[in-house]
Amino acid sequence: MKKMRAGIIGAGNISDIYLAAPSKFSNIEMAGIADLLSHKAKEKAELYSIPFYETPDDLLEDPTIDIIVNLTIPSAHAKINLAALDHGKHVYSEKPLATRYEDGKKIIEKATALNLRVGVAPDTILGAGIQTAVQLVNEGKIGKIVGAKAFMMGSGPESWHPNPAFFYETGAGPLFDMGPYYLSSLLVLLGPVDSVTGIAQTTYLERTIKSQERAGETFPVTTPTHVEGLMQFKSNVTASITATFDIHQSKLPFIEVYGSKGTIHVPDPNLFGGPVSYLAEGEAGWQEAPLVSGYIGNERGLGLSDMIESIQSDHQHYCHGELGLHVLELMEKLLESSVERTFKTLESNFSMRTLPEKV
Ligand SMILES: NC(=O)c1ccc[n+]([C@@H]2O[C@H](COP(=O)([O-])OP(=O)(O)OC[C@H]3O[C@@H](n4cnc5c(N)ncnc54)[C@H](O)[C@@H]3O)[C@@H](O)[C@H]2O)c1
């Protein structure tokens, strides 16, 4: 398989796993890295023995780079994604695609006009866990699908992230930051959403950093941190999501899918592996399903590799822009409905390519 040359913009916390991706995915060549803070990019470039670019613009202007991998903070996603396309490059972006649906639409429209690809995290939806659940749904293991529930329950990333303030700005919070894992999974399991409503609150107006050097520093919270959402899918299935950074602990499942003849217990959508268990009519108790693929570790880069393979095979890549846009519209409308006390209909749509049984 032919390699494509990827350049990373954003040399922060998550960049290491992407920088290590070429060792697992032979079609990715990491061709360089840049950051607003050039010393951060330089450090990573030295660590991984790849070229360093003084500024993001220098990297964007290099004609030998095929794909920009956007690992910046959410508020910079739209600008970098659009700049990548303007420079004639495909883009694979960390989630969310943008912080506003209007910007997300501009990204997809531009990519379509220029015949370039937009890929969006999370690629955990290609992992063995979610793909096994998708297969169980598609083969009718639990009968006709009735509904689903998703719970993203936590106390927030300030316990481990060195720079957690961005998680509490508009365009992040538990819904925009973690929601894409849960919502993308629900969407590949159940299809597009028709309408949404929600209730959201900001329980604590200030948070305190608990990790590493900056422990004890406080910062303001400017986005809802405790969110309840209700979704009606186009298939008439209903689902709910709770996304919170405000609770202490929970024993709720990550995601469950309910059918007329059984239930599927879906593993953590932030991870790639299982276990996936299900209870189905006619079978004795909960069963663990055999996983459909070998992607069970931290395989971030899988979505980028799939996008490269899809460009070369001229088929739709799995973690694609329309899916990311639908997730973005869903999250934005959920929060809007919370303020307006309304039920909102989505305008975006998407379809997924069916994967071969062994991903
Ligand atoms: N940290 C994780 O475990 C994790 C996991 C999955 C996804 N993500 C996602 O990855 C993205 C980055 O997260 P992170 O944890 O690495 O954040 P981070 O704050 O550690 O790193 C972000 C980097 O982007 C740079 N940056 C910001 N604005 C920029 C701009 N306009 N141009 C160029 N560089 C810019 C910053 O200087 C910083 O080095 C976020 O979208 C996050 O949701 C993070």
Average pLDDT, stretch 266-289? Answer: 96
For 165-192, how does the pLDDT look when each residue is reduced to its tens digit (9 = 90+)?
999 999 999 999 999 999 999 999 999 9
Q: Write the residue with the smallest CA distance to atom 27 of ligand 1.
A: 72
Least confident of 152-156, 274-278, 292-296, 315-319: 292-296
Residue 14 CA to ligand 1 center (angstroms) comes to 7
Q: Write the residue with the smallest CA distance to atom 26 of ligand 1.
A: 72
Average pLDDT, stretch 276-285? Answer: 95
Determine the atom of ligand 1 nearest the C-alpha atom of 166.
19
For 90-125, how does the pLDDT look when each residue is reduced to its tens digit (9 = 90+)?
999 999 999 999 999 999 999 999 999 999 999 999
Q: Is 96 in the pocket of ligand 1 (CB under 6 A)?
A: no
Residue in 351, 305, 355 with CA at minimum distance from that of residue 133 = 355
Q: Write the residue with the smallest CA distance to atom 18 of ligand 1.
A: 12
pLDDT at residue 74 is higher than 80: yes
User: How many other CB atoms are found less than 10 A from the CB of residue 43?
Assistant: 15
Q: Is 171 in the pocket of ligand 1 (CB under 6 A)?
A: no
* Candidate from 8, 9, 14 with most ligand 1 atoms within 8 A of CB, to mutate: 14
Residue % of the chain over a pLDDT of 70: 99
* Candidate from 71, 87, 176 with most ligand 1 atoms within 8 A of CB, to mutate: 71
What is the Cα–Cα distance from 271 to 288, expressed in whole angstroms? 17
The domains located in the chain, with CATH, are 4-123+300-317 (3.40.50.720), 127-293+325-345 (3.30.360.10)
What is the Cα–Cα distance from 340 to 359, expressed in whole angstroms? 42
Average pLDDT, stretch 198-227? Answer: 94
pLDDT at res. 359: 44
Amino acid at position 30, single letter: M
Q: Is 17 in the pocket of ligand 1 (CB under 6 A)?
A: no
With cut-offs at 50, 70 and 90, classify the pLDDT of residue 293. confident
pLDDT at residue 356 is higher than 80: no
* Candidate from 16, 70, 72, 223 with most ligand 1 atoms within 8 A of CB, to mutate: 72
Average pLDDT, stretch 263-286? Answer: 96
pLDDT at res. 149: 98
What is the Cα–Cα distance from 340 to 343, expressed in whole angstroms? 9
Strand-pair partners of 151: 242
Both tokens of 160, joined, read 């481990």
Q: Is 76 in the pocket of ligand 1 (CB under 6 A)?
A: yes
pLDDT at residue 30 is higher than 90: yes
Q: Is 81 in the pocket of ligand 1 (CB under 6 A)?
A: no
Q: Is 19 in the pocket of ligand 1 (CB under 6 A)?
A: no
The overall average pLDDT reported for the chain is: 96
CB 330 within 8 A of CB 196: yes
pLDDT at residue 194 is higher than 70: yes
Average pLDDT, stretch 217-235? Answer: 97
pLDDT at res. 357: 64
What is the Cα–Cα distance from 48 to 325, expressed in whole angstroms? 32
- Listed as own residue / partner, the contacts of 154-159 with beta carbons closer than 8 Å and 24 or more positions apart are 154/178, 154/244, 154/245, 154/247, 155/245, 155/246, 155/247, 155/248, 155/249, 156/207, 156/225, 156/245, 156/246, 157/245, 158/207, 158/208, 158/209, 158/210, 158/211, 159/210, 159/211
With cut-offs at 50, 70 and 90, classify the pLDDT of residue 271. very high
CB 318 within 8 A of CB 353: yes
What is the Cα–Cα distance from 86 to 81, expressed in whole angstroms? 9
Strands 90-93 and 118-120: parallel
Q: Give me the helices (H) in the chain, please.
A: 15-19, 38-48, 56-60, 74-86, 101-114, 128-138, 173, 179-190, 302-313, 321-340
CB 121 within 8 A of CB 21: no
Q: Is 123 in the pocket of ligand 1 (CB under 6 A)?
A: no
For 128-146, how does the pLDDT look when each residue is reduced to its tens digit (9 = 90+)?
999 999 999 999 999 999 9
pLDDT at res. 56: 98
CB 111 within 8 A of CB 84: no
Q: What are the φ and ψ backbone dihedral angles of 102, each rounded to 5 degrees? A: -55, -40
* Residue 269 DSSP SS3: coil
* Residue 87 DSSP SS3: coil
